[in-house]
Structures are given as C-alpha cells and as structure tokens.
C-alpha cells in the first residue's frame, strides 16, 4: 500500500485583524465582520483608517484568504502629531519627498516659493492621499501632521524626508530647509475585552494586533494561553497573534 498521497489536504483557517475604524465609519464596533476586499474595507471602515490600511497590507500577502476584522473604539487619549518646519526660500524648482511609514508623498516646489508656500504644498500633497495615517494642516511655514486615531500607536509611525537621498534622486530644492520633530505625544490605548468576546470560538490561524501597550498585550495573552485560552485543551482553537 502506497500512502504517500494520504491526508495531503490542508486546513487553511481564517485570519483576523483588530484595529480602529474611522469615527464616522459604518462598521459596527466590537463585532466580527467578514471583509472580502480592500475596497470594501475602505467603504465600511473609512479610507485611511487603521483597519483599512491593515487590510490593504494583509491582502498584499494573502489576496484571497478568508479575512475578518473587528473595529475597536478609540481611547480617550490624544492623537500624535509631527511638525515639519520649513525655512528659507526656494532658489530652484524641485520636489519635497515626505515619507509617512512606507508611503511617499511628493510636494512640488517652484523657484521663488517662500517657507509658507512650501508648507502649503506639503499640506496639500498629504491631504490629497486619503489612505495616509495622517491629516495635515499648515500655518506660517509649519506643517502639522495629526494621526487619524488617538492613542500610543501614532508615536510609532515614522515620518522622514528624502529617504533614498541623493542616489535616489531625493533632495530638497536649493534654498529650502525642513526639520522634522515630534509634537504632541499620542496617548491612550483601547479596551480589548469586548473585541475578544466578539471573537467567540471562531478559529483564526493568524490574528493581527496593532497595539503593543502592556494592557493590550496582556489581554490577548490571556485569550491565547494554554490553560483557559485558545491553546487550552478545552478550547483547542489555537492561532498566532
């Protein structure tokens, strides 16, 4: 008897992403929702929301797998801000390259633009992309990027200029100087108990969690433990966060 082909079937379970939707989004909070596409995630969670961006990143790896999301309410803390301070006057035409996370935003600069004009160009370029994790305002040559959601997570979104440098064709136009500095520190973390309850006994191979504060990690650790959680003998749901 040749059993080499026996039991070769694989059980590919669903995945789950937990995060914030926009405050005016239609998705019900702390509810398990099946998401079939990135466009649908944007529709129900809001473009640029944490959950919509998480779905977008996930679908690049797994375009067709079964995917659920749970939207959790924001904390009562503060949204992180980043300040880009522009000085000088452009003596040549060029482009300012601003990276928020991995996404590049290009702001055009014309020779003769002063600091305020360059700041407005950056602000307009940021706000023209609805999928970014920040919104932007500008005043007197200072661009303020504000995270779309309140919480500690916003402190960890990198903002850089000209990531690839001269070799990548990314340099500031002559005469323009820009400094990047943290502003308001994001504060607060969501309560995840209701989100965990919404998971019920549905099995998930992978669970994506964007929060790394102690309370959030401990809540998920309890749900995943091997004494009473998903890895225990009484539940046997398993999965990885």
Could you report the per-residue pLDDT of 157-189, keeping only the tens digit for each?
999 999 999 999 999 999 999 999 999 999 999
Q: Dihedrals φ, ψ of 166, to 5°?
A: -60, -40
Taking all residues of the chain, what is their mean pLDDT, rounded to a whole number? Answer: 93
Tell the CATH topology of 14-75+190-224: Dna Ligase; domain 1 (3.30.1490)
* Range 81-182 has CATH code 1.10.10: no
* pLDDT tops 70 at residue 5: no
Banded pLDDT at 13 (limits 50, 70, 90): confident
pTM for this prediction: 0.88
Provide the 8-state DSSP code for 21: P
Are residues 197 and 230 in contact, defined by beta-carbon separation less than 8 angstroms? no
For 193-214, write each residue's pLDDT tens digit.
Answer: 999 999 999 999 999 999 999 9
**Which stretches of the chain are assigned E, i.e. beta strand?**
14-19, 33-34, 67-71, 81-88, 94-100, 103-109, 134-139, 142-147, 159-161, 176-182, 204-208
Give the span between the Cα atoms of 28 and 30, in whole angstroms.
Answer: 7
Locate the domains of the chain by residue range.
Answer: 14-75+190-224, 81-182
Whether 14-75+190-224 and 81-182 share one fold: the answer is no
Q: Among 176, 100, 95, which Cα is nearest to 145's? A: 100
Residues 6+ apart with CB under 8 A from 162: 97, 168, 170, 171, 172
**How far apart, in Å, are the Cα atoms of 223 and each of 69, 128, 204, 207, 239?**
17, 40, 12, 11, 11
């Amino acid at each position: 008897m040749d059993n080499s082909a026996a039991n070769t079937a694989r059980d590919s379970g669903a995945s789950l992403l937990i995060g914030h939707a926009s405050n005016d989004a239609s998705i019900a909070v702390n509810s398990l929702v099946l998401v079939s596409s990135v466009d649908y995630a944007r529709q129900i969670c809001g473009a640029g929301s944490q959950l919509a961006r998480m779905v977008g990143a996930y679908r690049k790896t797994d375009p067709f797998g079964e995917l659920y999301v749970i939207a959790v309410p924001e904390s009562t803390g503060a949204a992180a801000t980043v300040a880009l301070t522009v000085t000088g006057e452009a003596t040549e035409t060029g482009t300012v390259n601003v990276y928020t996370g991995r996404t590049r935003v290009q702001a055009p600069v014309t020779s003769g633009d002063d600091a305020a004009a360059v700041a407005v160009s950056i602000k307009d370029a940021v706000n023209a992309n609805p999928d970014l994790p920040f919104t932007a305002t500008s005043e007197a040559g200072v661009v303020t990027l504000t995270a779309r959601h309140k919480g500690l997570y916003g402190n960890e979104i990198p903002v850089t200029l000209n990531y690839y440098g001269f070799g990548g064709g990314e340099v500031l136009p002559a005469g323009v100087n820009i400094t990047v500095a943290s502003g308001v520190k994001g504060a607060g973390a969501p309560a995840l108990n209701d989100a965990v309850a919404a998971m019920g006994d549905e099995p998930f191979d992978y669970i994506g969690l964007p929060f790394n504060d102690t309370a959030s990690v401990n809540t998920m650790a309890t749900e995943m433990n091997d004494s009473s959680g998903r890895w225990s003998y009484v539940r046997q749901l398993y999965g990885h966060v």
